[in-house]
Amino acid sequence: MKNASIRVRLTLWYGLALALILSLFAVSLYLVMSRALREQVDASLEEAAAVAIRTLGEHRFGPFLIFEDLSQDFPEIALLDKFFQIFGPAGQVTIQSANIQSREIPLSQTAFRAALEGGVTFESVQFEKGVPIRLLSFPVRQGDQLVNILRVGTSLQSTERMLHRLLIGLYIASPVALLVSLAGGWFLAGRALRPVHVLTQTAQRIAAGDLTQRIQTPHSNDEIGQLASTFNDMIGRLEVSFRQIRQFSADASHELRTPLTITKGETELALRRPRQADDYRMVLESNLEEIDRMSRIVDELLFLSRADLGEIKLKMLPVQLDDLVREVQQQATVLGQDRHVTTVLNALEPVVVLGDDLRLRELLLNLVDNAVKYSCDGQTVTLSLQVVDQRVKLTVQDMGIGISPDEQTRIFDRFYRTDEARAHASKGSGLGLSICKWIVEVHKGTLSVHSQPKQGSVFTVFLPLSHASRPDLPQV
């Protein structure tokens, strides 16, 4: 039973219940029927006896010797499908109807004794050849004296036959009804469970890797319909995240493959024939650069995957953000020196936010580093920090290569880099802005970009304002 399918189990339980009900019904029907039939026989016997006694009483119970005379005189008796016997007061047969003829059906002791005391007796006996008969013995009294005993009898054969037929009918009909119902139950259970079967098949196809599959949901909002739509939602989310993962690993392998191609190619080329020491030095320096690039990508990847798993612990303390902005501005000035990119502070309000000092610094550095990297020689990067509507607004603005509108939505995706960005600065992992976005979001802020190609970009960070005025006093 444990291994059987729900369909089999449902059908079997249903069949068992039905078999019980059917048997109960059959037994009760049989009992009620047999009882009713017997009562009917008894009632007809009593009626016949009453008719006989009344008729006989009219003739003062004269001694009729021949039944034919009796039936001639009393045609109503002859019409009855009963037989009559009239016993004398000693229990001997005096008259009996012709349909008994010579057969002996003596008066039983019980009936005789009951008659002596004026009682009526019903008896069921087996006639010869096993024909069942029902007998009614009725005392006929005059005063206290028992004059005759009238016995009326009838064959129970037709009753028994009817009951027998009923029994056979029940024996045949019950299993047939049971079988038909089982088949119907099997069909209905299958029908009810078909969506589950479809669900299973879809799930199997999905398990085989085809996440584009969806379950055909019936338009009903029943249990199966709900299950199917829940299932579809789940697959939808799975499909999205699988696609993201696939895209992510494709991008990751591409980003790692470029430095690998360079190190492999340059090294192989250098080893093809003996070279000057300077050539080797150049190859090693270039390879070192690529190795640094790869380790940065790996570090950033590791950071992001730990961030995804929630393994990065943040120390949320009040941070004096304006100090941080000033520090980063100084670093950016150094970063831009070679290409004469200057970084200036526009508005700078004293602002305290609750956050992780290290991560906020990383956020600022990443944004400013990008701004410097994608500026053209001699341009200016502008930083500003203000309080707007009880929120901290930080902007990093450059006048550089800019981002086209359809690419603006994708730049926060991991490894996404615009063609212009690749062409402008080949270094960069494509992960910086993903990390920035993560940092802003764990600080319950927002990060957005406004940009026009060849005009420059503005990255805007909104962070919640902390009410701590003094950063040296930790508040949580």
Partner 1 sequence: MRILVVEDEPKVASFIRRALEEESYAVDVCGDGLGGLDWAQTVNYDLIILDLMLPGLPGVEVLKRARAADVKTPVLILTARSEVDQRVKGLDAGADDYLTKPFAIEELLARARALLRRAGGAPTGVLQVEDLILNPVTREVTRNGQRLDMTTKEYALLEYLMRNAGRVLTRSMITEHVWDLDFDTFTNVIDVYISYLRNKIDKGRDRSLIQTVRGSGYMMRTDA
Comparing CB distances to partner 1, the nearer of 60 and 273 is: 273
Question: What element of type H or E holds 114?
Answer: helix 109-116
Smallest separation, CB 452 to partner 1 (Å): 19
Span of 40-48, 257-265, 332-340, 428-436 interacting with partner 1 by CB under 8 A? 257-265
Task: Report the alpha-carbon distance of residue 275 to residue 288 in Å, rounded.
Answer: 19
- The verdict on 410 binding partner 1 (CB under 8 A) reads no
254 binds partner 1 (CB under 8 A): yes
* Window 64 to 123, contacts with partner 1 (CB under 8 A): none
CA distance 297 to 204: 37
Does 261 help bind partner 1 (rule: CB under 8 A)?
yes
Please state, in angstroms and rounded to a whole number, the distance separating the CA atoms of residues 381 and 404: 19
* Residue whose structure tokens are 């319909």: 225
Closer residue to partner 1 in complex, CB, 323/420:
420
Q: Which of 34, 174, 258, 331 binds partner 1 (CB under 8 A)?
A: 258
Please give the Cα distance from 63 to 94 (Å, whole number).
Answer: 8
Least distance (Å) between residue 375 CB and partner 1? 18
Does 339 engage in binding with partner 1 (CB under 8 A)? no
Token pair 């902007």: residue: 395
Output the smallest distance, CB 284 to partner 1, in A: 13
Counting contacts by CB under 8 A, is residue 423 touching partner 1?
Answer: yes
What's the CA gap between 101 and 250, in Å, rounded? 111
Pick 128 or 268: Cβ nearer partner 1 = 268
**281 binds partner 1 per the rule CB under 8 A:** no
Query: What would the two tokens of residue 91 be?
Result: 């229990």
Per-residue DSSP letter, 108: P
Q: Taking the complex as a whole, how short is the minimal distance between the CB of residue 337 and partner 1, in angstroms?
A: 22
| 268 contacts partner 1 (rule: CB under 8 A) | yes
Nearer to partner 1 by Cβ, of 28 and 261: the residue is 261
Q: Candidates 57, 169, 236, 265: give the one binding partner 1 (CB under 8 A).
A: 265
- Out of 78, 190, 420, 450, point to the residue binding partner 1 (CB under 8 A): 420
Q: Distance of alpha carbon 56 from its chain centroid, rounded?
A: 82
Size of the site for partner 1 (CB under 8 A): 21
Neighbouring-strand partners of residue 392: 387, 463
Q: Kindly list the distances between the CA atom of residue 385 and the CA atoms of 351, 353, 393, in Å, as whole numbers in the listed order.
A: 8, 12, 6
Place of tokens 């008066």: 107
Q: According to the binding rule CB under 8 A, does residue 454 interact with partner 1? A: no
Which residue in 97, 290, 319, 463 binds partner 1 (CB under 8 A)?
290
Min dist CB 263 to partner 1, Å, is 8
Q: What secondary structure letter does DSSP report for 106? A: P
Comparison of 177 and 270: residue with beta carbon closer to partner 1: 270
For residue 471, which phi and psi values (nearest 5 degrees)?
-65, -20
Contact 343, 369 (CB under 8 A): no
CB neighbour list of residue 194: distance below 8 Å, 6 or more residues apart: none
| Chain centroid to CA 125 | 66
Nearest partner of 467 among 390, 356, 393, judged by Cα:
390
What is the C-alpha R_g of the chain?
A: 54
Quick one: 119 or 265, whose CB is closer to partner 1?
Answer: 265
Of residues 51, 260, 294, 312, which one binds partner 1 by CB under 8 A?
260
Distance CA 372, CA 366 (A): 10
d(CA 257, CA 297): 11
Q: Give CA–CA dist 38/162, Å, rounded.
A: 12
Tokens representing residue 157 in the block:
């054969």
Minimum Å gap between C-beta 4 and partner 1 is 46
**Cβ of residue 316: shortest distance to partner 1, in angstroms?**
41
C-alpha torsion angle, residues 322, 323, 327, 332 (rounded to 10) = 0
Residue 375 has a CB neighbour count (10 Å cut-off) of 24
CB of 414 to partner 1, least distance (A): 17
Q: Report the sign of the C-alpha dihedral through residues 433, 434, 439, 445, in that order.
A: positive
User: Does 286 contact partner 1 by CB under 8 A?
Assistant: yes
Applying CB under 8 A, among 269, 288, 358, 388 the residue interacting with partner 1 is 269
Binders of partner 1 among 306-335, rule CB under 8 A? Answer: none
Strand-pairing partners, residue 138, are 150
Give min distance, CB of 262 to partner 1, in A: 5
Q: How far is the CB of 423 from partner 1 (least distance, A)?
A: 5
User: Does the footprint of partner 1 cover residue 380 (CB under 8 A)?
Assistant: no
Q: Convert residues 206-245 into a mask of x (bound to partner 1 by CB under 8 A) and - (unbound).
A: ----------------------------------------
413 binds partner 1 (CB under 8 A): no
The nearer residue to partner 1, 207 or 277, going by C-beta atoms, is 277
**Binding stretches for partner 1 (CB under 8 A):** 250, 254, 257-258, 260-262, 264-266, 268-269, 272-273, 286, 290, 419-420, 422-423, 426
